[in-house]
Amino acid sequence: MIEVDCYNCKSSNHEFYDSENGHTIVKCIQCGLLFLNPRPGDEEISRVSKSRVYKADELPKVTGTFKEDLKEIYLSRLNDFNYAIMFNQKKRFTWLDINCGHGEFVETVSTLGDKQIDIIGLEPNVRKLEQARERGMDVRFFDLSTHQEKYDVISALNVYSHLPNPPKDIARWCEMLNEGGELLLQTGDTAELAAEHHHKPYSLPDHLSFTSKKLLIELLEKLGMKVIQVEKYRLSQYPIFSYLELLKEIARFFLPGHVATFKFSPEHPDTDMWIRAKKISNNTSSIE
């Protein structure tokens, strides 16, 4: 484990925010970012991500399976963000979905984009990658730092909090965009919440930091991106009360592998943030 400064503003000034499983989250006093500190060292993180690549014998219980109901949610997000306009153009678009998991988003985009979109998924977990391939998707694993291809769209859903240095990774993704290309990111807008209102579990030390709408927009703009649209949605772990949802929560409480929150009216349920941004310049050199 290593002590780290805030990757966002480089400040070493932070205060205790919360703890979980013996790990501590601190809040940067200067910019407000929440991050795990101390956190596993870069070598440890790369060792873990490498072991994910080769651990093909992991139990399905750990890696999960393709979630059909996610596709309905993704379809509605793509509609909210007006991707239909892109999908109806004559031009063909290339799309990369980073850490695509079992490929729920890849499959949704290919269904909706049909003939206009060539989408590939990047996935380090062999079991997930193979399951996605069995469903007919083009899912691969390669090293992004040396990858030569460029894309019209790069998406990364629920990836941000796992990155040791998001400014560096997102700068790399921006480099991999064609002129006028776009990013689509999903992460939580939670850095400004008080600890008692932050959704739990934090899933430490898998999650390394939590950002906010303000910080992420600032970062994207610094990287030469123009933010086109931001939407926030209710987190899926907080159901809206109905007797049917109550029954479902009770079932989740008893079924192994499921989590029931029984939180039908949490303080800040709408922190599932989606951001669509367009590349307007090649000036990404200001980020280390």
Choices 8-16, 53-61, 133-141, 247-255; region in contact with Zn ion by CB under 5 A: 8-16
Integer Cα distance of 200 and 130 in angstroms: 31
Closest CA to 227 of 156, 168, 170, 280: 280
For 24-37, give the DSSP string.
EEEEETTT--EEES
Write out the two tokens for 272.
Answer: 């599932």
Binding Zn ion by CB under 5 A: which of 26, 31, 100, 275?
A: 31
CB-CB contact of 175 with 203 (8 Å): no
Nearer to Zn ion, 8 or 108 (CB): 8
Integer Cα distance of 85 and 253 in angstroms: 42
Choices 26-34, 173-181, 192-200, 255-263; region in contact with Zn ion by CB under 5 A: 26-34
Binding Zn ion by CB under 5 A: which of 24, 30, 178, 261?
A: 30
6 counts as binding Zn ion under rule CB under 5 A = yes
CB of 227 to Zn ion, least distance (A): 20
4 counts as binding Zn ion under rule CB under 5 A = no
Integer Cα distance of 219 and 284 in angstroms: 11
Count of Cβ atoms closer than 10 Å to residue 58 Cβ: 14
116 counts as binding Zn ion under rule CB under 5 A = no
Count interface residues toward Zn ion (CB under 5 A): 8
28 counts as binding Zn ion under rule CB under 5 A = yes
- Contacts to Zn ion by CB under 5 A: 6, 8-9, 11, 28, 30-31, 33
